[in-house]
């Protein structure tokens, strides 16, 4: 069941992040220019670090300041019970913040590999952060040992600055055993 859920989450992420392909090739020039300047990308790196520091401190007020105020805010994470689907999307700012609150009741720590962090602008007002992380958490009966995840965040520019709109922590399955 977990493998099926992970495959479904992977497919959703892939579809969400893959631009639609045109039915026919055109001779139009490719526009792969980064829509955000270096200063903005640095700002987003700093905001991601602030978010991780706040989460590691279990500081809900600091986390809340970085989360988009919207019913469309999305956090993909483990559910309390397998009956709830084991992994699910938690929608809306209040629901996301409640899930963070529940996570912080026990051991919870994120250890990002900042050397592999990638921040890109999707548009002038939407950006994405990708970082391999290890998450230690005891939520929902998990043993609190570091486990590998791919963390994918979407940021949206609001009148109050950049805010996290989507947080997907995609579990990295163990490598299959080598065949002999």
Tens digit of each residue's pLDDT (9 = 90 or more) over 116-136: 999 999 999 999 999 999 999
The H or E element containing residue 119 is: strand 118-121
When mean pLDDT is compared across 4-18, 72-86, 150-164, the lowest value belongs to: 4-18
Domains, the chain, with CATH or none: 34-171 (3.10.450.50)
CB 110 within 8 A of CB 80: no
Helix (H) or strand (E) holding 87: strand 87-91
77-99 residue pLDDT tens: 887 777 777 788 999 999 999 99
Q: Quote the tokens at residue 32.
A: 């792969």
Q: What is the pTM of this model?
A: 0.79
The Cα-based distances of 45 to 31, 162, 164 in angstroms read 24, 11, 12
């Amino acid at each position: 069941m977990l493998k099926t859920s992970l495959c479904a989450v992977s497919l959703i992420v892939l579809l969400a992040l893959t631009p639609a392909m045109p039915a026919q090739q055109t001779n139009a020039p490719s526009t792969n220019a980064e829509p955000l300047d270096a200063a903005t990308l640095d700002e987003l790196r700093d905001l991601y670090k602030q978010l991780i520091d706040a989460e590691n401190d279990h500081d809900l007020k600091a986390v809340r300041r970085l989360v988009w105020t919207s019913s469309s805010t999305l956090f993909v994470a483990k559910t309390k019970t397998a009956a709830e689907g084991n992994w699910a999307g938690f929608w809306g700012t209040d629901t996301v913040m409640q899930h963070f609150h529940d996570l912080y009741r026990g051991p919870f720590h994120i250890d990002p590999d900042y050397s592999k962090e990638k921040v890109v602008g999707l548009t002038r007002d939407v950006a994405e952060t990708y970082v391999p992380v290890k998450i230690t958490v005891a939520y929902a009966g998990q043993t609190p040992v570091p486990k590998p995840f791919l963390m994918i965040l979407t940021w949206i520019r609001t009148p109050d600055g950049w805010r996290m709109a989507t947080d997907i922590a995609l579990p990295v399955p163990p490598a299959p055993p080598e065949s002999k």
